[in-house]
Amino acid sequence: MSEKAERDKKAIATFYAELNRFGQNGEYERAIKTSNKILNLAPQEFLAFHYKVVCLIELGKFDEAIRLLNGNAQFDEQLVFERAYCLYRANKHEEALKTIEKIENLDLRSKELRAQILYRLEKYDDAATLYREIVKNTDDDYEDERHTNLSAVMVYLEDEDTKDRIE
């Protein structure tokens, strides 16, 4: 290994320790700067890239996160959930749905996000079906909030039923 490569490797290790500390403390702006330092030395460091994307999300910078993801297609497949979430928060709901549907065998978090996207797209039937499935198959701290979301979906379902009856 050349001297420079050796030096870079040590620097990257130090930056990762720094990154971990900033992340744990919720210092997302500083964490992004450290991620950049790593990525400047080693553009293929996926963990640093992943960290940066999540920090941007935590800071509410969804458009910037989408731009970053668009510019780095090599990491695309590994951050489909994050991309779909950014699109959802950027009010690009159609695109968000297309993105999340690229995932085969949706895991819980992807189902949760998909249900939220369906709600925003006013696809209340699909959202209700999905929420019922999620509620049945989960046991976490968000049960109450999830029931609240299902209730919100039901409000619109009932509305649509009423409309059907009137017409």
Partner 1 sequence: LPPAMEPIPAKPLFYDLALNFVELPDLTEKLEGGQPKQKGAGISGFVKGLWGWGKK
Q: Cβ closer to partner 1: 2 or 24?
A: 24
Q: How far is the CB of 137 from partner 1 (least distance, A)?
A: 14
Rounded to 5°, the CA angle 48-53-56 comes to: 125
Q: Which amino acid is at 14?
A: T
Q: How far is the CB of 139 from partner 1 (least distance, A)?
A: 14
Q: Which residues contact 83 (CB under 8 A, 6 or more apart)?
A: 66, 69, 76, 99
Q: Cβ closer to partner 1: 67 or 108?
A: 108
Q: How far is the CB of 35 from partner 1 (least distance, A)?
A: 11
Rounded to 5°, the CA angle 89-65-112 comes to: 40
The answer to whether 12 and 42 are in contact (CB under 8 A) is yes
Q: How far is the CB of 89 from partner 1 (least distance, A)?
A: 8
The answer to whether 96 and 88 are in contact (CB under 8 A) is yes
Residues that bind partner 1 (CB under 8 A): 13, 16-17, 19-20, 23, 47, 50-51, 54-55, 57-58, 81-82, 85, 88, 108-109, 112-113, 116, 119, 142, 145-146, 148-149, 151-152, 155, 159
